Chain A
Amino acid sequence: MPAPDRPDLFPGALELMVLQTLRLGPLHGYALTQTIKRTSDGLVHVEEGSLYPALQRMLKAGWLAAEWGMSARNREVRIYRLTPAGRKQLEKKLSSFERLLAGIIKIVRPVQS
């Protein structure tokens, strides 16, 4: 089966974005993609093909919880929220991400200047 072309910059980026976005409040899947798109000024586009498997993974890991609710358009949707375990995971991921980012910037900047 061909692996879908993932937009992740690095492994875990999608999870990081989802966790970070959900920290602001529970969202359903479609709203998640739209929020990420809006927040990144359209630079990051989350593919649904990666999003839903990722959501399932995180549900299974216990970082997220999900329940059925109503969307703004009054449609039945599954709404995901962060669990305490997810919050802890987010902190961990964020700090390692920041370290990684700092490293990358150090490597990339000299070439640019």
Chain B
Amino acid sequence: MSWFRWFHRENDERQLRKEVEAHLAERVDDLREGGLSDAEARRQARREFGNAVLHLEDSRQVWHWRWLDDMRRDVRYSASTLARRPGFSAVAILTVALATGVSTALFSVIDAAILRPLPFPRPEEIVGASIETRREGFEDRPLHPSPSPSDMRRWRNAGVFSALAAWNSRGEGVLEGPVPERARVRDVSEEYFQLHGVVPRLGRDFTAADTIAGAPAVMILSHAYWQARLGADPDVVGRTIRYDGTPTQVVGVLPAGVHPDVTVWRPMRVDPARADNRGSSGTVFGRLRPGLHREDAERLLSSITPVGDARSPTGEAQRLGARVRLASVQDETVATYSTTVGILAAAVSLIVLIACVNLAGLLLARGATRHPELAIRVSLGAGRLRLIRQLLIESLVICLAGCAAGVLLAGLSLDGLLAILPMRLPASAVPSLSPGVLSAAVGLALTTGLVVGLVPAVRLSRVDLARPPASRSGLSLSRRAGQALIAGEVAMAVVLVLAAGLMIRSFSRLTSVDLGFDPDAVIAFNVLPLEREPSPQRRYYSELLDAIRALPGVGAAGAVDYFALSGTFAGTVASADGRTVAMSRRQILPGYLEAMGVRTRQGRFPVPADGGRVAVLNESAAKALFPNGALGQQFTMGGPFSVVGVVADFTHGGPSGRRSAEAYVPFDPAAVIGMTAGMTVVVRPARWTASLGDMLRQTAEGIGPRVLVDPVRPGREWFGDRVATPRHRTVLLGLLGALGLSLTLVGIFSVTAFAVARRTQEIGVRMAFGARPGAAVWHVVRDAIVPVGLGLAAGLAVAFFATRVIASFLFETTPTDPVTFVTGAVMLLAAALLAAWLPARRAARIDPVVALRAE
């Protein structure tokens, strides 16, 4: 038998069927001519022919492809069975689709975050190297200075690494290509790209010569920038582009996909005079030589690493030896995601389980209505295994259809889901529906179809022909089994709903924190003049603020280097009267405190006429520096300042930020600390107009010749950035909770609907004996409520312990928050009642006469 033949099987089968029909018709004609009536002739012909189905199978068996053939027929038969029951099929397929959809999305995240977080060759060889030293008397508080250039030189010579490199993130600077724009920069040592197995696509890698202080400024550009801004110019190497005001020569272009978030790569500079200083090299990575154990390398490196560095002050406590620690970068990267991924996986597993329970309930419930069909198949000679196979194939068909829909769903929603993923994945680890992810999804669907389909299939195949189809109880979904399914589903849904509820409660607490100012009352945007000299900067900002204040609808306007809602600050120290206090310093242009709506406690806000040496302290700073009154006092913070005012504390860095000592001093471009974003202009509108944003932007662009203006955004959006991660967690867990709840409600609905159908006669009898319709409905609902109650109790007990895993994500909310538990339980109970009541209403409409006649 050839494949060709098999493809013609359908044709063969049709021929055989046609042949048998002709046979029967001929016989009927003969019998009629012999004097039988039409109906009698037909009946006799059939009887004579015997078991037509079996003959067809016997005839076909000759062709040996029986098994494959049956399979094909089963699949076709299943598809048509499913098509005949669109309601059931839609619910079943949708159930599987939702479960597959979320799991596929989760698989893609696991695939990206856990399985291949580092897109480099042999990532397991890459280790982060750090030094651990302790001081006498402080043994419990080890120091971890970053290795000095001399340490790195020693380690390179030790021969344990095939490459050793350091890198420092330097934030963003302005890259003045065809259009000036902010660009993320990373400073790296030589061997950095070699360590990661990256070879520049154009030009060259950095060499040791590039890293010597005073060497010409060079950079390597990202592939994306080269493509998008430089038109993939093949002659770009050798060109000079200004970066942060410094003309910098392009020496190379990276291949696509290497740290896509970094645009500019510069050589890390080493000052030979400071080569022994620890603590300034940033992060040090090494690639261990193949076959070398981490512990052996640690021992070797520790033995050649000096205890202290050149700067260790003589007066300092004795250092107690240095240990070199090597940690797998891959493990550490994965560890940062493990909590979030673990929680997501747990939530998704619950949803998959709920979906499985749902599917099993649906299959069993539907099975009862199929008893006649199955009985006919048995009487036609179908064996039990044959029936089980048929039923299993049906559940597989459902699961595969659901899987296809789910993968489609995941594909469509993946970008949306990634946008609310509450963790930062490496820019190069982008979750996608890779072949691995897709095969995992199909594997899950097949497993689900087999495992979930098996019990119903075995039960349903136990067709007893001697028993009248009417007595179906025990055959498919018994009352007990239905109740057990409901209880299990509810218990799992409770955990999901409570986790979501806790996140929502925590988030609402987080967003209702009193910051000390109203984010809704301000709009803010970053402005950065490209001219970096102090005087044009100073001139630009004061002109800008004057112009803004002249705009219609503006109440107050000012500017600050580190905006309260930006999440950044410049930490320094201030001292006065022998006290030294950790201080966050914010440079402001007059009008900022007014625009923020900050309350004055003492004194006044600064004005332009004050000059550069005045300061406003917040209450925390005033109390810490001057317990006896701060007004008019002097303190030192990089220079002398006199206090002209004290303002109320307000929270920086968003609602989970801290209120600490703050000093507001006049803008001084020469004393800027690590500022690359420019100043943030803060405007408090007297009245809101739609065009204010555009006017602000035009004003900012119109004043200076060369200036970068970021989008103008309301304070609420800046606030939103600060709570993005908790919001994403809340939305994601909320979605998963809603999904679990909906699936459970569908489950309760379908099991109850089935119970009504199964008990039609019983209810009919009750009503015939005078039960009121309301009582009949209650009777059905009660059957659902008991397991809901049990499931609820079990779920609450589990949640009491399980919600602990999200404790670290909760803001001022305990993982067993009683309000959430009670609200969640009541809501779930109400929803479950509704889901049971809707189908139960049908019980009230049962006509006793019709119900009893059906017997």
Residues of A with Cβ closer than 8 Å to B? 1-2, 4, 28-31, 34, 47-49, 52-53, 55-57, 60, 71, 73, 75-78
Complex: chain B residue closest to A3, CB-CB? B58
Contact of B23 among A48, A53, A60, A73 (CB under 8 A): A48
Q: Does B49 contact A (CB under 8 A)?
A: yes
Q: Is B15 an interface residue (CB 8 A)?
A: yes
A48 touches B18 (CB 8 A): no
Residues of B within 8 A of A78 (CB): 15, 18-19, 22
Q: How large is the interface on B (under 10, 10 to 19, 20 to 34, 35 or more residues)?
A: 20 to 34
Q: Are A73 and B20 in contact (CB under 8 A)?
A: no
User: Known contacts being A73-B26, A78-B15, is A2 close to B381, with CB within 8 Å?
Assistant: yes
Asked if B63 CB lies within 8 Å of chain A CBs, one says yes
Q: In the complex the two chains form, is A47's CB within 8 Å of B26's CB?
A: no
In the bound complex, do residue B63 and residue A53 qualify as a contact, i.e. CB atoms below 8 Å apart? no
Q: Which residue of B lies closest to A68 (CB)?
A: B15
Instruction: Give CA–CA (A56, B62) in the complex, Å.
Output: 7
Contact A48 B50, CB 8 Å, known A1-B381, A60-B63, A76-B18: yes
Contact of B22 among A49, A55, A60, A75 (CB under 8 A): A75
Task: Give min CB distance, B17 to chain A, whole Å.
Answer: 11
Q: Which of B33-60 contact A (CB under 8 A)?
A: 48-51, 54-60
* B58 and A52 contacting across the interface, CB-CB below 8 Å: yes
- Chain B residues lying within 8 Å of A76, measured Cβ to Cβ, are 18, 22
Give B48-90 interface residues, CB cut-off 8 Å to A: 48-51, 54-63
Whether A71 lies near B381 (C-beta < 8 A) is: no
CA distance A81 to B480 in the complex (A): 62
Tell me the bound Cα distance from A21 to B385 in angstroms.
Answer: 40
Known: A1-B381, A29-B19. A60 touches B62 (CB 8 A): yes
Known pairs A60-B63, A78-B15; A49 contacts B20 (CB<8 A): no
The 8 Å CB contact of B26, one of A2, A55, A77, is: A77
Q: Interface residues, chain B, CB within 8 Å of chain A?
A: 15-16, 18-20, 22-23, 25-27, 29-30, 48-51, 54-63, 381-383
Contact B22 A30 (CB under 8 A): yes
Can you sample 17 A-B contacts with CB below 8 Å? A1-B54, A1-B383, A2-B381, A4-B50, A4-B58, A48-B20, A48-B23, A48-B48, A48-B55, A49-B54, A49-B58, A52-B20, A52-B58, A53-B62, A60-B62, A73-B26, A78-B15
CA of A61 to CA of B464, assembled, Å: 40
Given A28-B22, A75-B25: A53 in contact with B59 (beta carbons within 8 A)? yes
Known: A48-B49, A49-B50. A29 touches B58 (CB 8 A): no
With A4-B50, A49-B51, A73-B29 as contacts: A56 and B59 at CB distance below 8 Å: yes
> Is the beta-carbon distance between B50 and A47 smaller than 8 angstroms?
yes
Additional pairs, 11, CB under 8 Å, beyond known A4-B58, A48-B55, A78-B15: A1-B381, A30-B27, A31-B26, A47-B50, A49-B50, A53-B61, A56-B63, A60-B63, A71-B22, A75-B22, A78-B18
* CB-based contact B19/A77 at 8 Å: yes
Q: Is the pair B26, A52 in contact by a Cβ cutoff of 8 Å? A: no
Closest Cβ–Cβ distance, residue B696 to chain A (whole Å): 84
B20: nearest chain-A partner, CB-CB: A52
Distance of A82 Cα from B802 Cα, bound (Å): 78
A53 vs B19: C-alpha distance when bound (angstroms): 12
Q: Which residues of B contact A71 (CB under 8 A)?
A: 22, 26
- A63: min CB distance to chain B, Å: 13
Residues on B with beta carbons closer than 8 Å to the beta carbon of A34: 30
Cα distance A50–B57 in the bound complex, in angstroms: 12
Kindly provide the distance from the CB of B45 to the nearest chain A CB, expressed in whole angstroms: 10
- Rounded to whole Å, the gap between the CB of B50 and the closest CB of chain A is 5
Q: Please, how many angstroms separate the alpha-carbon atoms of A97 and B18 in the complex?
A: 34
Bound complex: CA of A49 vs CA of B22, how far in Å?
15
**Shortest CB–CB separation between residue B83 and chain A, in angstroms?**
28
- Identity of the chain A residue whose Cβ is nearest the Cβ of B48 in the assembled complex: A48
Residue of B19, B56, B63 with highest tally of chain A CB at under 10 A = B19
Nearest-CB distance from A109 to chain B (Å)? Answer: 35
Task: Report whether A77 and B20 are in contact in the complex, using a CB–CB cutoff of 8 Å.
Answer: no
Which chain A positions have C-beta within 8 A of B54?
1, 4, 49
Chain A residue nearest to B25 (CB atoms) is A75
B27 / chain A contacts, CB cutoff of 8 Å = 30
A111 to B55, CA, bound (A): 39
- Interfacial chain A residues near B48, Cβ < 8 Å: 48
A53 touches B22 (CB 8 A): no
B530 to chain A, nearest CB (A): 87
| Bound-state Cα–Cα, A57 to B63, Å | 8
Closest chain-B Cβ to A68's Cβ sits at a distance in Å of 8
Report the separation of the CA atoms of residues A13 and B725 in the bound assembly, to the nearest whole angstrom. 83
Assess whether A53 is in contact with B55, with CB atoms less than 8 Å apart: yes
Most chain B beta carbons < 10 A, residue from A47, A48, A56: A48
Chain A residues closer than 8 Å to B56, beta-carbon distance: 52
User: How far, in angstroms, from A57 to B62 measured CA to CA in the complex?
Assistant: 6
Contact of A52 among B29, B30, B59, B63 (CB under 8 A): B59
Known contacts A1-B383, A52-B20; is-contact A75 B26 (Cβ 8 Å): yes
**Chain B residues, Cβ within 8 Å of A52:** 16, 19-20, 55-56, 58-59
Contact of A77 among B22, B49, B60 (CB under 8 A): B22
B residues in contact with A2, CB < 8 Å? 381
Q: Considering only CB atoms, which chain B residue lies closest to A75 in the complex?
A: B22
How many angstroms from the CA of A29 to the CA of B25 in the assembled complex?
A: 12
B376 to chain A, nearest CB (A): 15
State in angstroms the CA–CA spacing of A73 and B15 once bound together: 19
**Chain A contacts of B25 at CB under 8 A?**
75
Give A55 to B23 CA distance when docked, in angstroms: 14
Report the separation of the CA atoms of residues A34 and B62 in the bound assembly, to the nearest whole angstrom. 24
